[in-house]
Structure 1
Amino acid sequence: MEQARYQEIAMDIAHAIMMGEYHEGEKIHGRSTLAGRYNVSPETVRRAIAILQNVGVVIVNQGVGITVTSKAMAEKFVKSFNQKGEIQIFLEDLKKLMDQRRENDLKIESHLNKLQGYVDRIMSRWLDVGEIEVGKNSPAVGKTLRELRIRERTGTTVIAVVRDGSEQFSPEASFVLRGEDVLLAAGSAEGQMRLQQLIL
């Protein structure tokens, strides 16, 4: 399964924390520096940091920057990422076996479907981060995140809100949305589509 560049960067930073390059409580280079280091745009780095914040590896505070919060969570993230790769290889082998023995291998097909669903759930929880803009005339304008009940209605988690070029990470439930706010949302593609319909 091909990885997005921001997913690779999140994995690399988590691995650096696990190996002791960064320590708990230590600040990581700013997004512009990381963008130069990985030769990507600041938006790509922002998505990578959003993933790590969502799983408790780092925290981002306005005026302070990116701070490492948990080496243990970095190790957990790296191990989970590696496990997904192992599962994907196993799935590919099963697909080849099904091509050869589809008529007699109904049990293998059942296992494949279960494993694929498991991988999809893990990938959605850890890695899928989308950017969705609030429409100027959206009914969501002027409402708080609590009132919109985004998690209950879409299954996604709002990791951050980008307003006028500045990010508000882990916004409170009382955060009031404005037109042209951009939500960084973690969740499945289906959930992000429901969120887009909710705030357009």
Structure 2
Amino acid sequence: MEQSRYQEIALEIAHSIVMSEYQEGERIHGRSTLAGRFNVSPETIRRAIAILQNAGVVMVNQGIGITVTSKAQAEKFLRAFDQKTEVHVFLSELNEYMEKRRQLDLKIEGHLNKILLYTDRMMSRWMDVAEVEVGKDSVAAGQTLTQLKIRERTGLTVVAVVRKGIEQFSPNSGFVIESGDVLLVVGAEQGREKLQEIL
């Protein structure tokens, strides 16, 4: 399946860590440098780093930058992607066999569609990062993440908050939301719809 550019960049950075181009504890180039290296926007780099942060591969601290935290987590991250690829290759082969057995076409196709939907839904929960902005008159402004109960009410994980262009990764439960904040969240589409209602 075709991957979003920020997902491809996250995989490339994880691969560099596994190949020891970056060591644990080493600082990776800043987002501006990475944006130039991959010829993408800072927003794209921000999403890629958010994926790796959520997977425990890197850590982002204000004033320090992006630091490699775990080579083992980078390997785990790549293995999960490889497994997804193997599943889709296998399903593609089954689809060819299905054409040769027309009598069983409908039954086989139905099962394949269920597997595809399940696989995509499962993998998208940690691969897909969305941005949700807090409106000017939002009732969420002035409330903490604990008070909003975002995870309990939506199933989403807030991996970062962008305020006036500055990212706050892994905000704690006491973090106070303000109007104009942009929340970077990981989770299912249904959860994002619920979050829009809350904000």
With normalisation by structure 2, the TM-score equals: 0.92
**Bigger shift: 125-134 or 98-107?**
98-107
Q: 1:144 deviation in Å?
A: 1.1
In the alignment, which residue of structure 1 is the partner of 2:56? Answer: 56
Measured on the aligned residues, the alpha-carbon RMSD in Å equals 1.8
Measured in 1, the distance between the counterparts of 2:25 and 2:137 equals: 42
C-alpha change, 1:138 and 1:108, in structure 2 (3 Å) is same
Counterpart residue type for residue 179 of structure 1:
S
Identify unmatched segments of 5+ residues in structure 1.
none
Say whether 1:119 aligns with 2:122.
no
Distance 1:26 1:98, change over 3 A: same
> Does the CA contact (< 8 Å) of 2:159 and 2:186 recur in 1?
yes
SS at match of 1:104: helix
**Equivalent position SS for 1:183:** strand
2:161 is the counterpart of 1:136 = no
Structure 2 CA distance, aligned partners of 1:37 and 1:48? 13
Alignment partner of 1:32: what SS? helix
3-state secondary structure, aligned to 1:140: coil
Write the deviation string for residues 132-159 of structure 1: whole angstroms up to 9, x where unpaired. Answer: 1011111211111111111121121100
- Does residue 1:191 correspond to 2:194, yes or no? no
- Contact 2:99-2:105 at 8 Å conserved across structures: no
- In 2, Cα distance between equivalents of 1:26 and 1:47: 20
Q: Classify the secondary structure of the residue corresponding to 2:177.
A: coil
Identical positions, percent: 65
**1:81 and 2:69 correspond:** no
SS in 1 for 2:143: coil
Q: Which amino acid aligns with 2:21?
A: E
Q: Number of residues paired by the alignment?
A: 199
Task: Give the drift of 1:98.
Answer: 4.2
Q: Deviations over 1:121-140 (max 9, x none)?
A: 33222210011101111121
Deviation of 1:114 (Å)? 4.3
Unaligned runs of 5+ in 2: none
Cα shift readout 1:68-126 (whole Å, capped 9, x = no counterpart): 00000000111111111111222233344445546535653454244224412332222
- The correspondence of residues 100-115 of structure 1 with structure 2, limited to 5 A, is 101=101, 103-104=103-104, 108-109=108-109, 111-115=111-115
